[in-house]
Structure 1
Amino acid sequence: MTTHTPPTRARGEHRPGRLHLNAFLMSTGHHEASWRLPESDPSYVSTNIAYLQRLAQTAERGKLDSIFFADGPALHRDIGRRPAGTLEPTVVLAAIAAVTERIGLIATASTTYNDPYNLARRFASVDHISGGRAGWNVVTTAFVEAARNFGLDEQPAHHARYERAAEFLEVALKLWDSWEDDAEVGDKAAGVWGDSSRVHPIGHVGEHFSVAGALTTPRSPQAYPLLVQAGSSEDGKDLAARYAEAVFTAQQTLDDAQRFYADLKRRAVEWGRDPATILVLPGIVPVLGATAAEAREKEDELDRLIAPEYARRQLAATLRVDPDDLPLDRELPADLPSEDEIEGAKSRYTLIVDLARRERLTVRQLIGRLGGGRGHRTFSGTPEQVADTLQDWYDQGAADGFNVMPAVLPSGLEEFVDQVVPILVERGLFRSEYEGTTLRDHYGLPRPTNPHTAARLAAAEVTR
């Protein structure tokens, strides 16, 4: 197996629009105590569509590539800890599409607790409604609470979930390609609306799914939604390398981010893909201040508002230990389960344990570090310092862009758009205006070719 290491980029070698920025939007912000700030109104944010629409419009004002909503089919956390109610995200995307023009719209949906036909139809519909701005964050869902909402006693094993996910994606891709672009004829004189020879029932029979027909929805503006993946386990990286066009990942250090980046690009090459067609976007939780001291004080204020007992119970669930085994002022116990014993979110488990061991954090300190972004990198500083750290990771081959996770909403997103984005534009790292209309345009990715059309044209060429 050969190693593919992307070259390090030198400062000044950027093309406008090269750096990619996605805004990950969640309730009052990603810091778990953000709802306790005076500026926050936690009573309605997650279910108030006008609030979510305004956030999207702010991201669009900054010419960001996209916005993103996480999701899971289970209420798995103690709702005493932070706002927990959510809306179904593809419905939210449709509502946001009506009040925006260019911003990409990405939502999470599970391959474990959905069926390919309905989900492919739903995302194709959002792509039509938005004029080609839809993206699907593909997840396998790592919570037993979700399994029990769908008639299962336990969650399926980690590897089994990813095997199902791979076949799910194969079926979805066949469905999105089941209509050729020219299937809709609209010939009033001849009385022919469509060409049935350009619509192809997929006839899929596999280990997990049997799907006979073509999709009810014609091929969408992007051909199909941008495919995003967020798992960083071995199975997750393999799935991403095979299918994903963008990858959301959590990395705490530059070295870890560089290794992940190089590994994912190498795996893409092994699947016969151009590594430039898979974009790596680590999460970052920026906390901005006019000075570094002011930014740090804002972060400290948030950390002081964390309710440690709620957070300790959540950490214990993640680590698969009893909360009593996690005294707040001691380090993690030495005898934690190995990653192989974890059937849930393997990569996040390892990231948390490695962070605690590497920095010798007490449970209380670890809770504070996780409170901002659940394992994603938190960085406090001035707008220039935040821009510097983004550029540094980009220059050194650790990222193609970033999944920006404001600690507090809406103020954190407004500050990033108004204070950090202009610096990135001035440095030639980011666009000043949108150059295309679809999400794939923003990410610099081509519209996929329909295989039925390609085969038909190739056959016609042979018979000439």
Structure 2
Amino acid sequence: AAAEADAIFSRHDTREAGQAFYSDVKGRLARHGRTPDQLLILPAATFALADTDAEARELAHGIRLQQVSGQTALRHLEHVWNTDLSGYDPDGPLPGIDPVPGEHTLARGRSTTRHHRDPREIARELRERAEAKNLSIRELVIDITARQTFIGSAATIAASINDLVQHDAADGFILAPHVSPGGLDTFAAQVVPLLQERGVFRTEYEGTTLR
């Protein structure tokens, strides 16, 4: 990628992770005779936009609850525990049992995930995370599977995007709206003008292509 790519579509959950990836990739360009601006780092991100930050947080929570059902949450953990967890309450605590060692034993027809780490270690980390944040099974799965999300009013989201770009966590973002088509309409109408006022979003395209 450092030798030939024009852009990398990445995924990072935190500013620190984005900065580490950005620094690593951009640092490889010089050995290929390229400058940092010749390769763009564009993480995927979603957004929850509302009139106030509080309303946006409530909206984001509701969206994630719709995306991760109780059954989906249990099946996600089954890939770690390697056993049927359908008897557990997805809105209750994590299983107190240890993962079942050995080959994946769930019924055929379900997708499986191979873990390169000890499932017992993964389960321990998940329990610690759930206990620290007081999360149920479903809330935990929502927490660990959420992609980077901009949540807030138009002003808050514009400031967050600008902060990440200015501090070398990304060159921009690939937005994935929760609703399609039309999911980007409010973002384009409310957030883009604020980014343009900051001078960090173009007001017109130069040339005849998007490159």
Q: CA deviation at 1:377?
A: 0.9
**Counterparts of 1:397 and 1:336 in 2: how far apart (Å)?**
42
Match of 1:341 in 2: 116
Match of 1:310 in 2: 72
Q: Contact 1:332 / 1:363 at 8 angstroms: preserved in 2?
A: no
Aligned-pair Cα RMSD in Å: 3.4
**Counterparts of 2:78 and 2:209 in 1: how far apart (Å)?**
42
Q: 1:353-399 CA distances to partner (integer Å, 9 max, x unpaired)?
A: 79x849655432122235xxx44212321011111110010111111
**Counterparts of 1:279 and 1:331 in 2: how far apart (Å)?**
42
Kindly provide the amino acid, as one letter, of the partner of residue 290 in structure 1.
Answer: D
Kindly provide the amino acid, as one letter, of the partner of residue 244 in structure 1.
Answer: A
Q: 1:416 to 1:333 in 2, by over 3 A?
A: farther
Match of 1:298 in 2: 59
Q: CA deviation at 1:284?
A: 1.6
**Counterparts of 1:335 and 1:273 in 2: how far apart (Å)?**
48
% identical equivalent positions: 36
Q: 1:177-198 CA distances to partner (integer Å, 9 max, x unpaired)?
A: xxxxxxxxxxxxxxxxxxxxxx
Which structure has more relative contact order (CA 8 Å, sep 6+)? It is 2
Q: Contact 2:74 / 2:86 at 8 angstroms: preserved in 1?
A: no
Match of 1:365 in 2: 139
**Counterparts of 1:324 and 1:268 in 2: how far apart (Å)?**
47
Q: 1:386-427 CA distances to partner (integer Å, 9 max, x unpaired)?
A: 111100101111110011111223343111111111111111
Q: CA deviation at 1:428?
A: 0.7
Partner SS for 1:384 = helix
Check if 1:398 corresponds to 2:148. no
| Count of residue pairs the alignment pairs up | 186
Equivalences for 1:38-187 in 2 at 5 Å? none
Q: 1:333 to 1:284 in 2, by over 3 A?
A: farther
Q: 1:166-221 CA distances to partner (integer Å, 9 max, x unpaired)?
A: xxxxxxxxxxxxxxxxxxxxxxxxxxxxxxxxxxxxxxxxxxxxxxxxxxxxxxxx
Match of 1:432 among 187, 194, 203: 203
Match of 1:276 among 18, 33, 37: 37
Q: 1:297 to 1:267 in 2, by over 3 A?
A: same
Q: CA deviation at 1:269?
A: 2.9
Kindly provide the amino acid, as one letter, of the partner of residue 418 in structure 1.
Answer: A
Whichever of the two has the greater Rg, that structure is 1
**Counterparts of 1:311 and 1:367 in 2: how far apart (Å)?**
6
Q: TM-score scaled to structure 1, two decimals?
A: 0.35
Q: Contact 1:326 / 1:332 at 8 angstroms: preserved in 2?
A: no
Q: Contact 2:75 / 2:85 at 8 angstroms: preserved in 1?
A: no
Check if 1:330 corresponds to 2:105. no
Q: CA deviation at 1:321?
A: 3.6
Partner SS for 1:412 = coil
Q: 1:275 to 1:368 in 2, by over 3 A?
A: same
- Structure 2: segments with no counterpart, 5+ residues: 102-113
